[in-house]
């Protein structure tokens, strides 16, 4: 069978890279879009994917990259918008935050997602086939102090997912969204994993990128052929009591 062609933005990151590896293992042709050249080359080489250095906040650059992929592989079957992030060390209360930082976060999370989607959907429409999976965040559902810009951009992705699903359903294109909670990178494992899990979820273990990749892989597959416009929360129940950090009471 002809290989499915998958573009994963942020494919050199933790969640994006794990998802890229998952798709590559299943026999798909994976293309990684990421701005980090060193990481793109390392991940692409390791999993047998095509790595492309792309600034997803630049629509013209994204369009050129998509055209190159279609010229080489003839199509794009699946788009996973996994690129994004918060201001991290630059996080502040919104009243104190620099507008430049706010724009950077919204550009990366929201416009990056919209740029890639807008560049790819004309080819999907022409083929009457395609799947888009957007990665949002549980922060979009409840908010966290210091992350107003991040929460706003991730909340907008949920809304965009629903609108796109309505518009594109007639073209046999499905669009869904995934909202991860706290996903800890291997290099940042806490000294007390049980206490960390207790703090950030209602389950007793820490989520990994594989947990998120499981859900993305399902939504991109034919097993989810009748699912579109939905937002799937994968957070160990954290959003049931999201206040930045969860306090729970065991019975």
Residues with catalytic function: 150
d(CA 181, CA 202): 11
Length of the chain: 251
Location of structure tokens 């989520």: 207
Question: Rounded CA gap, 158 and 110, in Å?
Answer: 10
Alpha-carbon torsion angle 210, 176, 70, 82, nearest 10: -40
Closest alpha carbon to 105 in 141, 140, 54, 69: 140
Place of tokens 């046999």: 172
Q: What secondary structure letter does DSSP report for 4?
A: P
């Amino acid at each position: 069978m002809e290989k499915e062609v998958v573009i994963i933005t942020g494919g050199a990151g933790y969640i994006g890279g794990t998802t890229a590896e998952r798709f590559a293992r299943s026999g798909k042709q994976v293309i990684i879009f990421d701005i980090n050249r060193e990481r793109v080359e390392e991940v692409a080489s390791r999993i047998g994917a095509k790595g492309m250095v792309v600034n997803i906040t630049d629509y013209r650059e994204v369009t050129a990259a998509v055209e190159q992929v279609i010229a080489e592989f003839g199509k794009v079957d699946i788009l996973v918008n996994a690129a994004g992030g918060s201001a991290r060390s630059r996080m502040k209360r919104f009243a104190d935050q620099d507008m430049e930082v706010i724009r950077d976060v919204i550009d990366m999370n929201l416009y990056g997602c919209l740029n890639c989607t807008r560049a790819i959907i004309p080819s999907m429409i022409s083929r009457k086939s395609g799947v888009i999976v957007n990665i949002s965040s549980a922060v979009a559902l409840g908010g966290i102090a210091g992350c107003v810009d991040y929460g706003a951009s991730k909340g907008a992705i949920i809304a965009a997912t629903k609108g796109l699903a309505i518009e594109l359903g007639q073209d046999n294109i499905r669009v869904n969204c995934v909202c991860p909670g706290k996903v800890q990178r291997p290099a940042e494992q806490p000294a007390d994993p049980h206490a960390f899990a207790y703090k950030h979820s209602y389950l007793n273990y820490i989520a990994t990128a594989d947990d998120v990749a499981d859900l993305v892989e399902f939504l991109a597959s034919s097993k989810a052929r009748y699912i579109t416009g939905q937002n799937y929360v994968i957070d160990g129940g954290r959003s049931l009591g999201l206040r930045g950090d969860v306090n729970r009471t065991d019975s």
